[in-house]
Each structure stands twice: as structure tokens, then as C-alpha cells.
Amino acid sequence: MTNDLPKISEAELEIMKVLWEKAPQTANEIIEKLESKMDWKPKTIRTLINRLVQKEAVSFHQGKGRLYEYYPVVSQEHFLQVETKSFLKRFYGASLKPLLVNFLKEEKLSSEDIKELKLILDEKSDEKQRKDNKNE
């Protein structure tokens, strides 16, 4: 999958979340999961599924009988990666530092969270040093 990502609406994202949780699923299974949670009619959910198929974010194969089983073509990881970059670009000019600083100032972090963040930053620092040494 390239960096091109179909534009997925908030409503369509609810369908994607169901399919990322478990795939493949029939339209009836998706409807069952979303009907009470979203207060949507089955026809609305089927329309959203069809839109996602047209956008090539979801595909299907014929399962048992004549039922179609739907599965995501766009992975949750890829979607989050592209959407995060888009968010950063729109709100922070693609700079991660102001976002992180803002988040860290406002968020209550556990000791475990802080250790994990330090580990990630240390790994990034080591990665950068190796890259810099390679380019010298």
C-alpha cells in the first residue's frame, strides 16, 4: 500500500474499526456491531460499506452461500500513520516537537509511561547518532 490513502469519513471510520477488530465479517455482522452503538439503520451501514469498497479501503470475497465477507485493505497502522502526519501538518506545520511538548505538559503520565517514552527517545537518539556517523 502506498502513502495514498482514500479519504475516510468519520462514519466510515466506524466501519473500519469494526473490520480492524475482526475480519472478514459479513454486512450483517457489521450491522449487528454498529446498530445499537451508532443508532444507524442497516441501510445506512450497507451504504457506508459500499462507499468503502468503492474507495478501495475495504474489499470482499464471497463466503458461504451468497454472503459477502468484507475485510480492510487499509491497515489500521497505515491509516493512523497517514492521519497523524496530516494532523501534524495542519496544526503544527509538520513539526512534532510542539505537539509533544503540549501533550506532555497537559497529560498525566504514570511512571511506566515515562519509562516507555524515555526508552523510545533513547532509541531515536541512538538511531540518529548511527545515521550521523554513517554520513561522516
Q: For residues 45 and 5, which has the higher predicted lDDT (pLDDT)?
A: 45
* pLDDT confidence band for 3 (50 / 70 / 90): low
DSSP, residue by residue, 57-87: SEEEEE-STT-EEEEESS-HHHHHHHHHHHH
Q: Considering the entire predicted model, what is its pTM?
A: 0.72
| Average confidence (pLDDT) over 84-107 | 80
Task: Spell out the domain ranges in the chain.
Answer: 10-76, 95-135
User: What pLDDT is attached to residue 1?
Assistant: 41
DSSP, residue by residue, 82-133: HHHHHHHHHHHTT-HHHHHHHHHHHS---HHHHHHHHHHHHHHHHHHHHHHH
Question: Architecture of domain 10-76 in CATH?
Answer: Orthogonal Bundle (1.10)
User: What pLDDT is attached to residue 2?
Assistant: 43
| Average confidence (pLDDT) over 71-75 | 96
* pLDDT confidence band for 100 (50 / 70 / 90): confident
pLDDT at 127 over 80: yes
At 43-66, the pLDDT tens digits run 999 999 999 999 999 999 997 788
Average pLDDT, the chain: 89
| Average confidence (pLDDT) over 103-120 | 88
Distance separating alpha carbons of residues 85 and 65, to the nearest angstrom? 42
Q: Which residues pair with 68 in a beta bridge?
A: 62
CB 76 within 8 A of CB 58: no
